[in-house]
Copies of this chain bind each other. A is one copy, B any other.
Amino acid sequence: MAADLAEDGEFDVTIADHSRDALARAARRGGRVHLLESDLRDPQVLARTVSGYGLVLGALPSSIGFEALRVLIQAGRPYCDISFMPQDALELDEAARARGSTAVVDCGVAPGLSNMLAGAAARRLRPCERIEIFVGGIPRRPEWPFFYKAGFSPADVVEEYVRPARLVEAGRVVVRDALSDVEPVEFPGVGPLEAFNTDGLRTLISTLDVPSMSEKTVRYRGHAELMRVFRETGLFRMEPVLVEGVAVRPRDLTAALLFPRWMYHEGEEDLTVLRVVGYGRLDGAPSRLVWEMVDGGDPSTATSSMARTTALPAVAVARLLASGRLEGPGVIPPERIGEDPELLREVLEYLSARAIRIEERRERAAT
């Protein structure tokens, strides 16, 4: 994010982090950026830190994302966030409106780009009857036994595999087990994949008036069954088990054994796949709108696809905020951007200029 924003000299960019090492790594990525060592877990430190800036991007751990959003709203600084917070950011919408603050949340690839495209589907299809989102970050070359590496926190991946998934069916929210309804899926040049329920709809559940919506996570085929067995065996449990007289949380041991195997090694390539399908009518005819992305990393900057596709939508939105083309006040989920054809076009053009290409198809179909 910082490197992209600093690139064209339009912005004066400062990176704040509590880790000096992380700051040094960020600086090595290039671009003229200032570094600020600052423990942002402390709301008062965070409030002081952001007070001198005209625009703030948040890439904080999910555990402190909601509190940081609250601080930013109070600080009255335009904010664009990619924290995968477990709370509902829209609960702070009223406070943001009262304070005259603007915060765009969930601004990564999914949630993020997926929400924008879902918003576009909901707007263009009359009516929009169903939205399906398929998304996953996977290694380019899958390896036995997991066919998977974690492009972000592996603990959050496990959390995704245990947290019940909320779907919308016949206009109502229904809850399914994570890893359920496994189905084969295909993406061009990647194969064979599968998709399964995870709790990814988030704000879409309340913001879009579409009677049927699902988000599924994509992996290479076979991964879901293994994770289902791990979960069933109890290996993801948080409740301690007595082992030779010592209380052990199974998930901690599983993490110790599993996560090193889920780490990308230096230079290993990853892929991010995303498909959003809207079902409904276009000019009265049963139709499908399909957006599809298969993104690899950028070898020239040693940046993973997961990093690029998560960071750059946020930068695109930050640029919209900075230019005043996106205005609040309020807590704005990305689907609102997708509902505005001009804003969406700008985001997609910005991404395309950075080689993140989203194909759009319009298909006649029985719905």
Contact = CB atoms under 8 A, between A and B. Distances in A.
Interface of A: 144-146, 226, 228-229, 232-235, 237, 241-244, 246, 248-250, 252-253, 256-258, 261
Nearest to A237: B257
B233 A243 contact: no
A173 B234 CA distance: 39
Contacts of A241: 253, 256-257
B250 A257 contact: yes
Contact of A253 (B229, B232, B248): B248
A142 to B, nearest CB: 14
Contacts of A246: 246, 248
Contact of A244 (B226, B244, B252): B252
A226 B288 CA distance: 39
A253 B243 contact: yes
Contacts of A228: 145
Given A145-B233, A243-B248, 13 more contacts: A145-B228, A145-B232, A226-B226, A233-B258, A233-B261, A234-B257, A235-B235, A235-B257, A243-B249, A244-B252, A246-B248, A248-B253, A250-B253
A360 to B, nearest CB: 39
Q: How many copies does the complex hold?
A: 2
Contacts of A237: 257
B261 A252 contact: no
6 contacts: A235-B257, A241-B253, A241-B256, A243-B249, A243-B252, A253-B253
A234 B145 CA distance: 12
Contacts of A243: 248-249, 252-253, 256
A228 B256 CA distance: 18
A233 B254 CA distance: 9
A244 B250 contact: no
Contacts of A233: 145, 257-258, 261
A253 B244 CA distance: 9
Minimum-distance CB pairs A-B, first 10 = A234-B257, A145-B229, A243-B252, A243-B253, A241-B256, A145-B232, A248-B248, A253-B253, A233-B257, A243-B256
A352 B109 CA distance: 67
A234 B237 CA distance: 17
A256 B257 CA distance: 17
Contacts of A145: 228-229, 232-233
A273 to B, nearest CB: 24
Contacts of A261: 233
A341 to B, nearest CB: 48
A246 to B, nearest CB: 6
A250 B248 CA distance: 11
Nearest to A258: B233
A249 B229 CA distance: 21
Contacts of A249: 243-244
A261 B144 CA distance: 25
A363 B228 CA distance: 44
Nearest to A260: B234
A249 B244 CA distance: 9
